[in-house]
Amino acid sequence: MIMVYKVWNMEEIIIYNYLIFDIDGTLLDTEFAVLSSLQRIVKEELNKDMSFEDLYFALGIPGEITLEKLGIANVKQCADRWNEYLRGYFRHIKVFDGIKEVLEELHNRGSSMGIVTSKTREEYANDFIPFGIDKYFDIVVCADDTEIHKPYPEPILKFIELSGAEKEKTVYIGDTEYDMKCAKDAGVDFALALWGAKTDKGIKPDYIVERPIDILNIK
């Protein structure tokens, strides 16, 4: 494993033409909003009180898959209600400290950047665009764009198809095991964003980035 803070000492460095980002837990701190609103759905539908720890698995996969895994019926209806509740927690969502500055610097360097997310296109519009950092991304792949989702490789393969990016010159930055599996099975390198990751257990990234600014050292 290459630790990002050692990159400067490497004699040979891979130059990445494309940096792909996850959203939740990587660009945006959405954990409290997502899990609090999900707790409400679980209470209403299953009459259960579930902790954040019980629901961490939901971070990084599409909402409807989360609801199916929980055994909730009327998935589409509950997903719409979950999104409605989520908007009530919008004030708790923020861009992680340092992300805007890093994106601006990457833009100034001429880096090509994109997004692969488990959010639907509607969720992307409602939950991400208001933060004003969407302008940095050339291509965005949402849950609507593929039939199969993370942890399977299809979302990143779709991004490769749309962008024409070379796999060996592409890195995916995310915070979960789902993100790692998606990247690895798609044949691209993976960088683990520790500021959003709940654990690095079982995750074997090519890079570990402890702070957003460390992304600038991935080359």
- Return the pLDDT at 12: 42
- Return the pLDDT at 199: 74
Q: Are strands 189-193 and 207-209 parallel, antiparallel or unpaired?
A: parallel
Which is higher by pLDDT, 200 or 134? Answer: 134
| pTM of structure | 0.87
- Return the pLDDT at 193: 96
Task: Report the pLDDT averaged over residues 196-203.
Answer: 82
Task: Report the pLDDT averaged over residues 143-147.
Answer: 96
CB-based burial, 120-154: b 16+ in 10 Å, e otherwise: beebbeebbeeeebeebbebbbbbebbeebbbbbb
- Return the pLDDT at 201: 75
- In whole angstroms, give the CA distance from residue 74 to residue 176: 27
- In whole angstroms, give the CA distance from residue 47 to residue 80: 19
CB–CB of 118/179 below 8 Å?
no
Report pLDDT digits (tens) over 82-124.
999 999 999 999 999 999 999 999 999 999 999 999 999 999 9
- In whole angstroms, give the CA distance from residue 41 to residue 43: 5
